[in-house]
Amino acid sequence: MLRRTLTALMLAAVGLPAVILGGVFYFLLMGVFLVGGAWEYVRMYRAVQYEPHEIVTIGGVLVIATARFFFAEYAVPLFVLIILLAMAVHLVAFERGRTQAAVDFGITVSGIVYLGWIGSYLLDLRSLGGADFGLWWFMLALPLVWAADTGAYSIGAVYGKHKMAPRLSPKKSWEGYFAGIFTSVLVGAFFSHAFSSIGLQPLHGLINPIQGAALGLVIGILTPLGDLGESMFKRQSGLKDSSNVFPGHGGFLDRIDSWLWGAALGYFIIQYFIL
């Protein structure tokens, strides 16, 4: 418990200033998590004898994240070129005798798409509406993910009786899941009210508690799938954690599995239904 607490404090000490400052500091923070997640992703599949291309997967995630943050107009062409490059390197691998090269190609592309393209919504969310507003949209959407996780764990650990996904995550229960949704809705309503009508009012006139509750509802319902998705990766690879980079907390993917869903969902809901 002490080790887990110390790790959490260390992550907060590094992460919170980067989130607040934004810009290159925030990019470096999320870049480390996305690239680290890509490294773990390759490692997990190599543990069960698949061969996603390490350089293309990790490099592709880094290139896409960099383009999305600094050179958005080049992001789509670079994304296409990276996928074509992945095909080329796996064609060479097949010609050299790797009979599973087509499956390896699919794993490589999936990692690039999931961690590179979808993962980059962690960057887009922080920039949504401009740097000043982006901080507050981030501080609204991502805490809903954490609220759902906390509610699910707190209630599920005590009252969880009905297994939600016994093959993927035996400890998750339907009781915890619905508690997480409820918590996310409450936090969404409260934060939207606080950010739009209390104190500094950074989002004044942009969101109301009903919209915040609706955002919390969607995030509470769907983001647990990100956690289960990473559990699927680990079950297939036979690993308990994606790595042991963070003592007591596992690896990069263990930290951002639900963030990926929360950032993408939050970005689109805020962009198209709130702004």
Does residue 270 contact residue 208 with C-beta atoms inside 8 Å?
Answer: no
Instruction: Give, for 227, the enclosing helix (H) or strand (E).
Output: helix 224-237
pLDDT of residue 1: 59
pLDDT of residue 2: 61
| Phi, psi of 50, deg, nearest 5 | -90, 165
pLDDT of residue 130: 83
pLDDT of residue 259: 96
Burial code of 11-32, b = ≥16 C-beta within 10 A, e = fewer? eeeeeeebbeebeeebbebbbe
Does residue 203 contact residue 234 with C-beta atoms inside 8 Å?
Answer: no
Weakly modelled stretches of the chain, pLDDT under 70:
1-2
pLDDT of residue 243: 81
| Contacts (Cβ under 8 Å, ≥6 apart) of 157 | 176
pLDDT in tens, 121-153: 999 999 998 878 999 999 999 999 999 999 999
pLDDT of residue 118: 98
pLDDT of residue 205: 85
- Whole-angstrom Cα Rg for the chain: 19
Select from 193, 151, 191 the least CA-distant residue to 175.
151
pLDDT of residue 159: 92
Select from 207, 201, 51 the least CA-distant residue to 141.
207
| Phi, psi of 250, deg, nearest 5 | 85, -135
| Phi, psi of 105, deg, nearest 5 | -60, -45
CB atoms within 10 A of CB 214: 18
CB atoms within 10 A of CB 150: 16
pLDDT of residue 121: 98
pLDDT of residue 227: 94
